[in-house]
Structure 1
Amino acid sequence: MADDKPNCKVVLANNIAKSLLEEVHEGLKNIDRKPLLVGFLSSSDPAARVYAEWTGKTCNENGFTFELRETDRELLEDALLDANTDPAVDGIIVYYPIFGSRQDQYLQQIVSLSKDVEGLSHRYIFNMYQNIRFLDPHNTKKSILPCTPLAVIKILEYLRIYNTILPYGNRLHGRTITVINRSEVVGRPLAALLANDGARVYSVDVNDVQEFTRGEGLRKRRHEVVEKPGWTLENCLPLSDVVVSGVPGEQYKVPVNLLRDGAVCINFSSERNFKPEVKEKASIYVPAIGKVTIVVLLRNLLRIVQNKIEEEAEGQKTVEQASEAVQTSS
């Protein structure tokens, strides 16, 4: 008798996070102290507090120090400026939303570039959209990417959706991906990152669909965006190898009947955007990504500390060379 059970493999975020944590632990071995991450909580949103507590727990369990500072939102700007200049603080994370307006965007921009573990500073966002992957001309210091979009990238790498035979930066060539959500925090950055890595991405929002690609044959250095007039999920989903959804509403569900057989489905919303029936169509289903996002946050913090150590070493080397030059000339 044939086995009627679905062949879909459910992959939990915890398993993916473990492999990334190994990389973080290895990097910490070369640092003689526990990096300090300071979180600022000025929001009454219960989800923000849960995220803050989760961050603290993960930090303390994995060789980092975490300090939560609960600050009145009207005093947050000054608190951030103080943390920027505090040499004991290695990284800063702010739990949004706070004002729920452009004022939040302003707060994102005053966090020091050298402490922005969320990758929300203008320089990092500019680099991400322009497909500039390093901060220095020698390509030794990698730019910081926003945590949730990067978590999805790391999940796709873990699932081997990325083709490692292809050159770095082109490894999604030939993949078609639908991203349902075009928020400035997750959806649009994710579509850009995936397209910059070579994928054809359909970015689906409430009112329209946009296509992100680097052109035929990946001829362009960075992604370009074109509107798809009249397109809906009915056009995108049957074409997509991967479907990533993050609609923050319990009423929304991805139409399972439109999914391509064997699609990879990833949910990054706090609400389940996929019905249980997704397992009858998908080959792989990742129901949540939160634990990967937290580890990516630690990975970003580690990278910031490593960049700082390298800069200090380079500065010391320059001083020593200048001193030697003076001694030689005298």
Structure 2
Amino acid sequence: MAEEKPNCKVILANNIAKKLLEEVHDGLKKVDRKPLLVGFLSSQDPAARVYAEWTGKTANENGFAFELREIDRELLEDALIDANNDAKVDGIIVYYPIFGNRQDQYLQQIVSIDKDVEGLSHQYIFNMYQNIRFLDDANTKKSILPCTPLAVIKILEYLQIYNSILPYGNRLHGRTITVINRSEVVGRPLAALLANDGACVHSVDISDVQTFTRGEGLRKRRHEVEEKPGWTIKDCLPISDVVISGVPGDTYKVPLEHMRAGAVCINFSSERNFTPEVKEKASIYVPAIGKVTIVVLLRNLLRMVQNKIDAAEDAAQKADKSQ
């Protein structure tokens, strides 16, 4: 008798990235030049170099210009200020970690808000946590979101975990999601974004569990965080429709014995946080998201270029009216 195959559908990031790239290509048609993204590499981290090369390759293949600048970390601050002031530079990405401490956070704040394709500037982070989706009162300029959390959201939209029947901003209402990792770069922003879209999110870190929600019936405008004393991942997995894991290091594995059958599983770590047995239990499994992250980066860059074009047109119209 033939062995039954698992019913899990494995979705590769490449397929999701293709759909987003079509959007990017359509937007590029409205721009009369190649937008220039400048990457700054100031660390010896091999993963940072791989990411930099991958960014350049994807950018060049898709109608963008990319320039990698390898700068001594002590000179990076001045180099970023120069790039901010260079009208030819449309977007800036810095490959972290550099110093691996608060100095990295300081460098994130140097990059001009108009060129910060990673969405790490204070204004963008503030808007994200406060559930403010636009930069202007007229709601024409969308705020930029950090690339990896936004890539996860785009994957969840592609998988139709977002319910398009519900109003925009509430489309995860009724979903329970576990996010394993509460880093300031990905895990905590992702939990906040998902909760702001209506999900009940259990954020699991090495020492505790927190729950992010917008309250009963989504009555709150933005998410709130509740400590869950005594809770562990064993309490979260059996009640979660979606499990998203991004623990760095090759030793961590999600304890599948506690996961509910039919859960959707997404891995955003550079290591595999799920063992191959995940396919026996999950309904959908996304083993990596890197290709989606880079397309989201290009999408953010394009949005900045479009904002610049719109601002120039507005200024020209105002000048005409004043004459």
> Which category describes the TM-score, using the shorter chain as reference length?
over 0.9
For 2:106, the equivalent position in structure 1 comes to 106
**Counterpart residue number, 1:280:** 280
| SS of aligned partner of 2:174 | coil
Q: Deviations over 1:125-168 (max 9, x none)?
A: 00000000001111111000000000000000000000000000
What residue is the counterpart of 1:180 in the other structure? 180
Flag structure 1 segments of 5+ consecutive residues without an equivalent.
324-330
Structure 2 residue 312 is matched with structure 1 residue 312 = yes
Amino acid paired to 1:286: V
Classify the secondary structure of the residue corresponding to 1:261: coil
Is 1:62 matched up with 2:42? Answer: no
Counterpart Cα distance in 2 of 1:311 and 1:260: 49
The Cα RMSD (Å) is 0.7
The aligned runs of 1:15-54 (5 Å cut-off) are 15-54=15-54
Structure 1 distance, partners of 2:135, 2:313, is: 17
Report the TM-score, using the length of structure 1 for normalisation.
0.97
Partner of 1:77: 77
Write the letter of the residue equivalent to 2:316: Q
Give the aligned partner of residue 167 of structure 1.
Answer: 167
Q: What SS does structure 2 have at the residue aligned with 1:113? A: coil
Aligned equivalents of 1:54, 1:4: Cα separation in 2: 38
Query: 1:258-301 deviations in whole A, cap 9, x for unaligned?
Result: 11110000000000000000000000000000000000000000
Corresponding residue number in structure 2 for 1:328: none
SS at match of 1:203: strand
Count of residues in Structure 1 that have an aligned counterpart in Structure 2 = 323
CA offsets per residue over residues 52-111 of structure 1, 9 Å max, x none? Answer: 000000000000000000000000000000000000000000000000000000000010
1:231 corresponds in structure 2 to 231
Alpha-carbon distance between aligned partners in 2 of 1:4 and 1:195, rounded to the nearest angstrom: 37
Deviations 1:201-257 (A, max 9, x none): 000000000000000000000000000000001100000000000000111000111
Asked which structure has the greater CA Rg, the reply is 1
Aligned: 1:132 with 2:132: yes
- 1:207 matched to 2:207? The reply is yes
Distance 1:93 1:249 in 2: 24
Q: Which amino acid aligns with 2:81?
A: L
* Counterpart-to-counterpart distance in 1, 2:285 and 2:80: 39
- Give the match for residue 151 of structure 1: 151
For 1:111 and 1:269, the matched residues in 2 are separated by: 26
- Tell me which residue corresponds to 1:257: 257
How far does residue 2 in structure 1 lie from its aligned partner after superposition?
A: 7.5
Cα distance, 1:31 vs. partner? 0.3
Deviations 1:15-63 (A, max 9, x none): 0000000000000000000000000000100000000000000000000
Letter matched to residue 244 of structure 2: V
Distance 1:207 1:322 in 2: 61
- Aligned counterpart, 1:322: 322
* Matches of 2:42 and 2:3, distance apart in 1: 52
The aligned residue for residue 87 of structure 1 is 87
1:4 CA drift (Å): 1.6
Alignment-mate amino acid for residue 304 of structure 2: I
Q: Which runs of 5+ in 2 are unaligned?
A: none
Query: Kindly, what percent of the aligned residue pairs are identical?
Result: 82
